[in-house]
Amino acid sequence: MDKIVINGGTPLTGTVEISGAKNAALPVLFGTILTADRCVIENVPEILDVDLTLEILEKMGAKVRRDHTTVEIDTRDILPCRSPYELVSRMRGSTYLIGAELGRFKQAKVGMTGGCNFGIRPIDQHVKGFKALGATVDTRGGYVEAFADELVGCEVYFDKVSVGATVNVILASVFAKGTTVLESAAREPHIVDLANFLNACGANITGAGTDTIKIKGVEKLHGCTYAIIPDMIEAGTFMFAAAATGGNVKINNVIPKHLDSISAKLSEMGVYVEELDDAIIVRRDGDMKNINVKTRPYPGFPTDMQPQMTALLCFAKGDSKVIEGVWDNRFRYVEELRKTGAYIDVAGETAIIHGGAAELVGAPMRSVDLRAGAAMVIMGLAVNGRTEIVDIHTIERGYDNIVKKLRGLGADIRKVSF
């Protein structure tokens, strides 16, 4: 087993390159199933969730060749209902197999998926969309099974803005007869990336990035070469690490527009943020001000930056409030952060961070999920003393070479086997 050991207190300085977005790469990789052809996907992050996705696709019959961040994938020989339960159940993103299998084969059987545990993660909105397209769906027995004689374009009004449901229903409707209209669709950049990829393969999708998405059914898709967008959450995590340590970091390969809600909060705290064409500079010299934040679907402040924000606010002066507006149980990590001496109260979906109350020190912590682990890394970098984080596979699920990248910024951080 591995752990991350940090001797904190060093301001981060230098330049870091951001990898491709996890939350775009997974839908696109599963989306290659629809092409029944050879695709070359570039800028794919080297993370455990991608390893697992490719392993699942191979087990289903895909041919995969990977050279660092470029993945060549041929899905011609894929068969439906073949994904191994023990693999898909480890990762939430494998839910996208349902839409992709249903879209291509009109049948799907996929194990109930796992991933980060921050409350109930229902799929009722996914199922609602599949049924509206004409599928019969059964969610009993640990699997989601779906089949249809024919998929027909329809209107789907989502009751809740859901990234997963929007992705899944897009995947399922690409070949449906006629036009499918998704209302109250998620607007995240990774939804746009998936639509751009599918359109590059011959699909006809418009409106991605707005809350109304139209999918005109096409007969077939073909393979293409496509590059994944930069990871806004990885970029945001480095921005917060720079601010928390009082550093000066240039973050390369980003789309600054995607980071607007994150940059705005940093500016509000008094941190210097400069946007360049495809880079962002974050620098902090003085104190940080306390602020309030509520997570919301894009373009709101992302729930996937919530734990990192809580960690950062421990270093601001005064009381800050963080309200979780997406998930019902995403503060489990707070107990770990408190080991540093951080003074954080949690009541329901609200955390009050009493910043600057005492000097915080390094501590042993256990990463409870991907973004929680990132928050612990930020904490460890910013406080004096030694921090050891275990269960780091949760972090490596979604951060590409985080230890190496932070070392490049001058951090005293290393991965140690034990």
User: Which residues make up the interface to ligand UD1 (CB under 6 A)?
Assistant: 23, 26, 92-93, 120-126, 160, 162-165, 186, 303-304, 326-327
Supply φ then ψ for residue 416, to 5 degrees.
Answer: -125, 135
Nearer to ligand UD1 by Cβ, of 114 and 178: the residue is 114
Cα-based distances in Å from 173 to 89, 130, 132, 186, 248: 24, 8, 10, 16, 46
Nearer to ligand UD1 by Cβ, of 122 and 348: the residue is 122
Name the residue with the smallest CB distance to ligand UD1.
Answer: 164
CB of 83 to ligand UD1, least distance (A): 16
Q: Which has the closest alpha carbon to 313: 354, 285, 350?
A: 354
Nearer to ligand UD1 by Cβ, of 304 and 388: the residue is 304
Q: Which has the closest alpha carbon to 325: 351, 296, 301, 353?
A: 296
Burial class (CB in 10 A: 0-12, 13-18, 19+), 352: middle
Residue showing tokens 């087993």: 1
CB of 189 to ligand UD1, least distance (A): 11
Retrieve residue 79's tokens. Answer: 């068969």
Write the DSSP symbol of residue 112: P
Q: How many Cβ atoms sit within 10 Å of the Cβ of residue 71?
A: 24
CB of 130 to ligand UD1, least distance (A): 11
Q: Which has the closest alpha carbon to 110: 119, 100, 125, 124?
A: 100
CB of 76 to ligand UD1, least distance (A): 26
CB of 326 to ligand UD1, least distance (A): 5
Nearer to ligand UD1 by Cβ, of 193 and 388: the residue is 193
Q: How many Cβ atoms sit within 10 Å of the Cβ of residue 216?
A: 15
Retrieve residue 359's tokens. Answer: 């000097």
Map residue 278 onto helix, strand or coil. Answer: coil
The residues annotated with a catalytic role in the active site are 116
Supply φ then ψ for residue 135, to 5 degrees.
Answer: -90, 155
**Distance in angstroms (rounded) separating the CA atoms of residues 49 and 31:** 15
CB of 190 to ligand UD1, least distance (A): 7
Retrieve residue 174's tokens. Answer: 């690409």
Do 377 and 384 form a contact (C-beta atoms < 8 A)?
no
Nearer to ligand UD1 by Cβ, of 93 and 236: the residue is 93
Map residue 75 onto helix, strand or coil. Answer: coil
Nearer to ligand UD1 by Cβ, of 167 and 379: the residue is 167
CA quadruple 102, 232, 376, 333: dihedral sign: negative
CB of 212 to ligand UD1, least distance (A): 17
Write the DSSP symbol of residue 149: S
Q: Residues 6 or more apart from 288 whose CB is under 8 A from it? A: 243, 269, 270, 271, 312, 313, 315, 316, 317, 355
Nearer to ligand UD1 by Cβ, of 123 and 243: the residue is 123
